[in-house]
Amino acid sequence: MYTLEDLDNSLREAYYLTERYRKAIIDLTNLLNIEQNNKFALRYQEEAYYITVRELTFIT
């Protein structure tokens, strides 16, 4: 059984991770502005978008 404290901790962690992924998306977008075909940036930007949307869907 989960407590309100458990829920609060889970939400805090989800928001923290989502914010980190948002910052990564910004950095990867900046890299893609310099190198449009950078495979690393393209792959991880897509992954970061996916995870961010998944986390936000979980939260709401």
- Quote the pLDDT of residue 35: 98
What is the pLDDT averaged over residues 35-48? 96
Q: Which residue has the higher pLDDT, 4 or 15?
A: 4
* Cut 0.95: pTM above it: no
Q: Which of 18, 24, 30 is nearest to 45 (CA)?
A: 24
| pLDDT above 90: residue 22 | yes
Structure tokens at 36: 């449009």
User: What is the domain partition of the chain in residue ranges?
Assistant: 4-59
